[in-house]
Structure 1
Amino acid sequence: MNYDNVLAGSNFTFPVIRNEHVAFKRSYELVDDKVLFTTTLTADGQSVSSFIPLIPVTYNQLVQMLEQCGFVHIEAYSNFEKAPYASDASALILAAHN
């Protein structure tokens, strides 16, 4: 999850995952200093939701933590195909090594 995107003020929602039996919805909403992660699972006409408050950690915070742990080479991507990191992307993937 790319919290820089969420903290920019947009309520972020992933596409709904559906098959013939269930639908799974995930969204992130900024609430005070936390990000409220909401999931809703719908099956047989009934829905169950779960809410988890998350502490957002930004790209800069993660890089700083990795550097403090001694990592020298840090690469950031927006997806697993290694597209360059963008603050408005939905994903943040970091690869770090010494």
Structure 2
Amino acid sequence: MKTFYEILTPYYDEIFPVNDKQVNFLCSYFPNGSTLLDVGAGTGNTAIAMARAGYKLTAAEPEDRMTDNMKEKANLNKIQINVIPNSMQQISQLRETFDGVYCIGNTLPHLDNFQQICTFLQAAYDKLNKHGKLVIQTVNFEKVLLHQHYSFPLIQKDTFTFTRQYELLDNKIMFTAILKDQSDTHSNTLPLYPITRTQLQNELENCGFHSIAVYGDYGKSPYNTESSGLVISAVK
């Protein structure tokens, strides 16, 4: 039986196309030519864009269908990317170290609990070269916790629609995604850990990071509790 993310893969690039503001933010933060680790790379849109911009990319993604898609696109575009099947919990197994690590697209909250997030942040620190940089991007869970519910706008295309919503239930955020295509409706609900700006900032400091900056979006808008997103950067 296919997983929801396997079902989602053919539509993934239309749902999550290359975000120019995201790429511009990363390019402004990481020095050109840096070695970068993209954790939770999906189908590789951001990794390919960063490699095209002159960075040396390792893209970690555990979903087989997505890594196959990423490799196919990289080959088609003649872009060199090192694609690996490691999950967030497996980056400590890598032998290489990097000038930069980024984990975006609300990937981090898919870890089960705060301790797993702390373990990931420490592993990211350990995998960075001296003065290496980290970028994390998530939904702003302070806003979700405050209002107990949050929905993204409907994504409507010619052949499918896609909805996402977050709801507070027993101290977990239940994330529900619904894909309706021409033949069926596919729904998936999973718990996310609602990591907040304060928790992240404190744990980054505990890991040894400094020069921590917090924004409400990739345009570097000041963060507040009503920001839709959380973008946080830090230096080893």
Give the match for residue 150 of structure 2: 12
Alignment of 1:24-35 (within 5 A): 24-35=162-173
Structure 2 unaligned blocks of 5 or more? 1-138
Cα distance, 1:16 vs. partner? 1.1
Query: Match of 2:161?
Result: 23
- Which has more strand, going by share of residues? 1
Q: Residue 78 of structure 1 aligns with which residue?
A: 216
CA distance in 1, matches of 2:153, 2:214: 23
Per-residue deviation, 1:46: 2.5
How far apart in 1 are the matches of 2:223 and 2:206? 21
Tell me the distance in 2 between the aligned counterparts of 1:25 and 1:62: 27
Could you say which residue in structure 1 is the equivalent of 2:29?
none
Cα deviations across residues 27-65 of structure 1 (Å, max 9, x unaligned)? 000001100000000011521100001111111000011
In structure 2, what is the equivalent of residue 49 of structure 1? 187
Q: Distance in 1 between matches of 2:204 and 2:225?
A: 18
Higher helix share: 2
TM-score computed with the length of structure 2 as normaliser: 0.40
Structure 1 moving runs of 4+ over 6 Å: none
Q: Which residue of 1 aligns with 2:131?
A: none
State which structure, 1 or 2, has the greater radius of gyration over its C-alpha atoms. 2
Aligned residues: 98
What is the deviation of 1:90? 1.0
Secondary structure of the 1:89 match is coil
Q: TM-score, normalised by structure 1?
A: 0.94
TM superposition shift of 1:7: 0.5
Mapped partners of 2:163, 2:153: distance in 1: 7
Describe the SS at the equivalent of 1:92.
strand
1 CA distance for matches of 2:168 and 2:148?
8
Percent identity between the aligned chains?
37
